[in-house]
């Protein structure tokens, strides 16, 4: 087993990784920026090392600072969490060169899947259905127009190296495409340092369904069913659940087997997620693979009873996966609400403040993954995720009823949060019915605006 892990991240995921390490008897070092000196991760870890100023480029996105921290503290591995350097092939490569185990797949796999065009080509060759679109990155607006003529409108421009739903643009006809192309390029360049774009057919009535996989270094892989992340705002997930209300055992088997085909085609090792769009007829299309732990991993853990972060650590140090596909049992239903420091009344504007009082919900079936404590001021320099509330129930209704109770019970004062929005969403009859698509949240907000409903 590993002896000491550098946690190269912050916020709730840093705490999550420390907890997994502690249960496995692995020592931890929290790498923190000057803005995170008082963070829960820095307090919970066995050691903590300051890696630089608040600006991510000088701390959490700065490989030399992280590697020095790992070396001076005698770590033998680095866990990158999600975001920051978690899908940076160069970082994975130099960790390995410095004799530090990178908790994730190898650098070549990260590089391959980090490029959405290459990822699509690879998965198509492995037999997975993909959305019609450009085979590689677009070289010009003329090429975009040409592809759009073949696949027909509406189309979606998507950054090749994108993430977090940023930089995507829909075009309903040629004039919109001509207008959107330079804007999308500029946005991608600003957000990801790379303006290259892909063009895909835009599918309107779809659900976002993703398959969690675990694979060891010896070619053995299993899938842990699906997560439904169709409740999105601006292509970013806000509520996730497992299982999906619309995936039956047959579809789960088909999607799981497709995901495992993809995994074996690239000799993938560690935890990973293949994301798909599912249309109302049951046809599904691969969109991308995330080669890291995801924010929403906890819903899978709750229904499968498997600790994904512990398995990431075990697999990275060469342990074999001890479960077979038949051992995976999906029990009950789990839902996650992302609680962000945002004001839903002001178009989800990120807000800052000192947390005066924090009372997390409790009782049966409730799990809180958070880095909050009373008196803590979450720094404004990073993303706005404060806590994840995850509820489990024997069925979807019980999980939802518990979520309502948990959201009502949760007290956060001093900072505005998305709780009022989440509460209203959980009670919305359309969400309750389970009959939603990725456009649902936009429609819901529109509906509330028109009816003057207060959140």
Positions touching ligand ADP (CB under 6 A) are 131, 156, 162-166, 200-203, 206, 208, 232, 235, 275, 277, 287-288, 438
* Residue 289 contacts residue 111 (beta carbons within 8 Å): no
- Which residue, 80 or 162, has its beta carbon nearer to ligand ADP? 162
Alpha-carbon distance 15 to 388, whole Å?
Answer: 12
- Which residue, 131 or 184, has its beta carbon nearer to ligand ADP? 131
Cβ 204 to ligand ADP shortest distance, Å: 7
Catalytic positions are 292
Tokens for 200, please give them: 């895909």
Cβ 357 to ligand ADP shortest distance, Å: 34
Cβ 343 to ligand ADP shortest distance, Å: 23
- Which residue, 67 or 436, has its beta carbon nearer to ligand ADP? 436
- Which residue, 69 or 171, has its beta carbon nearer to ligand ADP? 171
Cβ 247 to ligand ADP shortest distance, Å: 16
Cβ 156 to ligand ADP shortest distance, Å: 5
Phi and psi at 318, nearest 5°, equal: 90, 10
* Residue 325 contacts residue 224 (beta carbons within 8 Å): no
Lateral strand order in the sheet of 366-370: 284-290, 270-278, 207-215, 221-233, 236-242, 333-340, 385-393, 366-370
Cβ 166 to ligand ADP shortest distance, Å: 6
- Which residue, 197 or 316, has its beta carbon nearer to ligand ADP? 197
Cβ 3 to ligand ADP shortest distance, Å: 34
- Which residue, 107 or 188, has its beta carbon nearer to ligand ADP? 188
- Which residue, 235 or 367, has its beta carbon nearer to ligand ADP? 235
């Amino acid at each position: 087993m590993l002896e000491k892990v550098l946690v190269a991240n912050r916020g709730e995921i840093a705490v999550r990784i420390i907890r997994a390490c502690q249960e496995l008897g692995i020592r931890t070092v929290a790498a923190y920026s000057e803005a995170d000196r008082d963070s829960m991760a820095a307090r919970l870890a066995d050691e903590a090392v300051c890696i630089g100023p608040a600006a991510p480029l000088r701390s959490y996105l700065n490989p030399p600072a992280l590697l020095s921290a790992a070396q001076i503290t005698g770590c033998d591995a680095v866990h990158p969490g999600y975001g920051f350097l978690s899908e940076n092939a160069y970082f994975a490569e130099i960790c390995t060169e410095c004799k530090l185990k990178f908790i994730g797949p190898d650098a070549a796999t990260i590089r391959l899947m980090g490029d959405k065009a290459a990822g699509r080509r690879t998965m198509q060759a492995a037999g997975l259905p993909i959305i019609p679109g450009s085979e590689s990155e677009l070289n010009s607006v003329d090429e975009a127009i040409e592809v759009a003529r073949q696949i027909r409108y509406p189309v979606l421009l998507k950054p090749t190296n994108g993430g977090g739903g940023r930089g995507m643009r829909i075009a309903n006809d040629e004039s919109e495409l001509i207008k959107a192309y330079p804007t999308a390029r500029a946005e991608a360049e600003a957000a990801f340092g790379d303006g290259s774009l892909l063009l895909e057919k835009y599918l309107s009535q779809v659900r976002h369904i993703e398959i969690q996989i675990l694979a060891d270094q010896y070619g053995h892989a299993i899938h842990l069913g699906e997560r439904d992340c169709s409740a999105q705002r601006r292509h970013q997930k806000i509520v996730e659940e497992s299982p999906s209300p619309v995936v039956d055992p047959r579809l789960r088997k088909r999607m799981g087997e497709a995901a495992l085909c993809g995994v074996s085609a690239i000799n993938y090792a560690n935890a990973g997620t293949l994301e798909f769009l599912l249309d109302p007829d049951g046809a599904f299309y691969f969109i991308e693979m995330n080669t890291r732990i995801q924010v929403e991993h906890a819903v899978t853990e709750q229904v499968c009873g498997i600790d994904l972060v512990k398995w990431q650590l075990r697999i990275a140090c060469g342990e074999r996966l001890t479960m077979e596909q038949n051992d995976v049992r999906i029990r009950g239903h789990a839902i996650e609400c992302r609680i962000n420091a945002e004001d839903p009344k002001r178009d989800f504007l990120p807000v800052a403040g000192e947390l005066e009082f924090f009372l997390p919900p409790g009782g049966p079936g409730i799990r809180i993954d958070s880095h909050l404590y009373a008196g803590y001021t979450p720094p404004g320099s990073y993303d706005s995720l404060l806590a994840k509330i995850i509820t489990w129930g024997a069925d979807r209704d019980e999980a939802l009823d518990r979520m309502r109770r948990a959201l009502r019970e949760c007290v956060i004062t001093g900072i505005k949060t998305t709780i009022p929005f989440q509460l209203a969403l959980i009670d919305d009859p359309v969400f309750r019915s389970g009959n939603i698509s990725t456009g649902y949240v936009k429609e819901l907000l529109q509906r509330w605006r028109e009816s003057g409903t207060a959140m």
